Amino acid sequence: MENRFNLIDEPWIPVADYGRVSLRQIFTHNEYRSFGGNPVQKIAVLKLLLGIAQAAVTPADEAEWQALGAEGLAERCLAYLEQWHDRFYLYGEKPFLQMPLVEKLIEERMGKKLASAKSGAKKKEAELAGEPKSFGAGFYPDMPSSNNTMLSQTLFDQKLCDADKALFVVSLMNFAFGGKRVEADMKSLGGKEIGNRYSAPAGPSLGGRTGYLHSFVFTGTLLSDLWINLITQEDLEKTMMWADGVGIPLWENMPVSESCDLVNEYKNTYMATLVSMSRFSLLRDHGIFYLDGINYPSVKDGWFEPSLMLDRSGQDIKPKYVNPEKRPWRELESLLSLAFESKSNGYECMFLRIGLERARDRFEWLSIWSGGLKVSPNSGDQSVKQEDDFIESQTWMHESILGAVEFSQLKLEMNCLDERASCLWGSAVNYFKSFKADNGKKINNTHAGKMAKQAQNLFWQLCERDFQVLVNNCNQSESDAIERQKLRKRFAGYVNQAYDKFCPRDTARQLDAWAKCRPNNSNYLQQET
């Protein structure tokens, strides 16, 4: 096939305020601030760029990393892309992160089915099985199932442009959904028999359950973000998680099957966490051939990515999952604790630990970004249902917030907000229990518990709009103390607003219960800030 649409030259990466840009533009323009797209696309593209950066240069230690700088990193990456320019074509003899051999497997399977077909309907079925799969809506790294429920026009099948296809392939490598939507009823490239009900495991960055939460330190420009999150050889040795070091990216040396020697070596490198290959795919016409690819261990079995939040304090390693009901900004103080505590009893994140240590001494402003996708598992399949959704949270802070006094102030304010949320929940529960409904049931399964939970969720949604202001006013000046007191009045108002929304006072009986159970915010407002 003709080599065309080179990712180095063609615009395909969504960048805020600029639209689509190419890989060369990413490393040429230092004014780009952040990625566009959904959170999974942002993480996938960032991982790819970090993979390019690590392949271009991996500093020996912090001193070499400091001397490199963001501009030095960009120069090395541009030179690397020039060297490997022919490996970044989306279409051609060596399509980027794709496996041309899968088309032969599809053709062989179609030939066998056609030969055994006894009717015209069976022949038509065999021919359809040889066609590429649809991308669906294109914003999930997955194929649509045949019985998808269409809730809006955004979920209908879309014809993707080449830029969107490139973004889809890159997202698919790390975040493919687990399930039965891969091609089956054939032999894999490695000779493994794949039955017609085969279920492929999820991509390693998504995880086999409900979706991992990923976190990074950002600084305000994409080039600086890549530099801040660049791992040194010293970091790799301290971590002791990748026996074969940085590794060689797949576009330099593609595997021939899911179980070849190259794959076994690659899974033990840091590069595998940046650019996985959880699906063997090939773009064709307006669709894609889509087979299971390299299978990776779970976090419980030893898989490690620097962007994951992992709790190693117990017998089993526990990752933090995406939770749309508890957005990451609510845990900012626990994330920032990595800058103060060399060893944590709870969740740890390698990128946050290294990034905060670097950024606090070199940037006046920094941010913590967290995001991911919540999915629902069901008998080996993963899909987006009901309350599942993308989430992302980014909080900017002055470097002074990493001071001990300012950090303590933030912890105090967050603890107070947690207390207000608990008070609201208790008040709403008592309101509904006063009508003597749902007696004898566990409170979370009762109408009272469900309504109290909704009130609590509304409270946190209202607080989120003012959280950035709270973070900006955690210094110990008099003006900051005055601003925090104003914010407390506003947060107390949100408690009452959420209570009034879900606890009506239309009848005399409701009014009596509403007055008796109304949240008391007096101590919160009188407490010194």
pLDDT tens digits, 23-51: 999 999 999 999 999 999 999 999 999 99
Question: Domain 403-526 belongs to what topology?
Answer: Topoisomerase I; Chain A, domain 4 (1.10.132)
Determine the average pLDDT of the residues in 447-467.
93
At residue 139, the pLDDT reads 82
pLDDT value at 206 more than 60: yes
Torsion from C-alpha of 392, 389, 309, 51, nearest 10 degrees: -70
* Longest CA–CA separation in the chain, Å: 85
Backbone φ, ψ for residue 397 (5° rounding):
-150, 145
Amino acid at 245: G
Residue whose tokens read 């493994």 = 192
Nearest Cα residue to 28 out of 227, 222, 249, 229:
222
What percent of the chain has a predicted confidence (pLDDT) above 70? 94
At 446 the pLDDT is 82
pLDDT tens digits, 280-291: 999 998 899 999
- What's the pLDDT score for residue 441? 58
The pLDDT confidence band at residue 466, using thresholds 50, 70 and 90, is very high
- Average pLDDT rounded to a whole number, residues 483-505: 96
Q: Which residues pair with 14 in a beta bridge?
A: 20
Where along the chain do its domains lie? 4-93+205-396, 403-526
The mean pLDDT of 339-352, rounded to a whole number, is 72
pLDDT reported for residue 331: 86
Confidence band, pLDDT 50/70/90 cuts, at residue 168: very high
Q: How confident is the model at residue 345 (pLDDT cuts 50, 70, 90)?
A: low
Q: What is the pLDDT of residue 129?
A: 85
Residue 346 has pLDDT above 70, yes or no: yes
Question: What are the residues whose beta carbons fall under 8 Å from the beta carbon of 218, sequence distance 6 or more?
Answer: 34, 225, 228, 366, 367, 368, 369, 394
Q: Is the pLDDT at 145 greater than 60, yes or no?
A: yes
| pLDDT of res. 41 | 97
CA distances from 420 to 301, 329, 332, 354, 448 (A): 39, 17, 17, 33, 18
* Average pLDDT of the chain to the nearest whole number: 91
What is the rounded average pLDDT of the residues 5-34? 97
CB neighbours (10 Å) of residue 31? Answer: 10
Query: How would residue 448 be classed by pLDDT, with cut points 50, 70 and 90?
Result: confident
- C-alpha to C-alpha distance for 232 and 320, rounded to whole angstroms: 25
pLDDT for res 32: 96
In this prediction, residues 190-203 reach a mean pLDDT of 91
Q: Which residues contact 58 (CB under 8 A, 6 or more apart)?
A: 230, 231, 232, 233, 236, 246
- What value does the mean pLDDT take over residues 53-64? 97
pLDDT at 334: 80
The residue with greater pLDDT, 153 or 87, is 87
DSSP 8-state class, residue 228: H
pLDDT of residue 438: 54
Q: CA 57, 63, 67, 73: dihedral to nearest 10 degrees? A: 20
Tokens of 167: 């973004």
For the stretch 80-114, pLDDT in tens is 999 999 999 999 999 999 999 999 999 999 999 89
Q: In the predicted model, is pLDDT for residue 483 greater than 70?
A: yes
Q: What is the pTM of this model?
A: 0.92
Q: Over 60: is that where the pLDDT of 147 sits? A: no
Q: Which two tokens stand for residue 481?
A: 């103390």
Tens digits of residue pLDDT in 252-271: 999 999 999 999 999 999 99
Burial class, 387, CB count within 10 angstroms (exposed 0-12 / middle 13-18 / buried 19+): exposed
- For residue 152, pLDDT over 90 is answered with no
Average pLDDT over residues 474-489: 92
Pairwise CA distance, residues 412 & 529, whole Å: 9
Helix axes 478-502, 447-472, angle to 10 degrees: 160
d(CA 368, CA 393): 8
Residue of 180 and 404 predicted with greater confidence: 180
Instruction: For residue range 291-314, list pLDDT tens digits in order.
Output: 999 999 999 888 999 999 998 888
How far apart CA 526 and CA 166 sit, in angstroms, is 56
SS3 19: strand
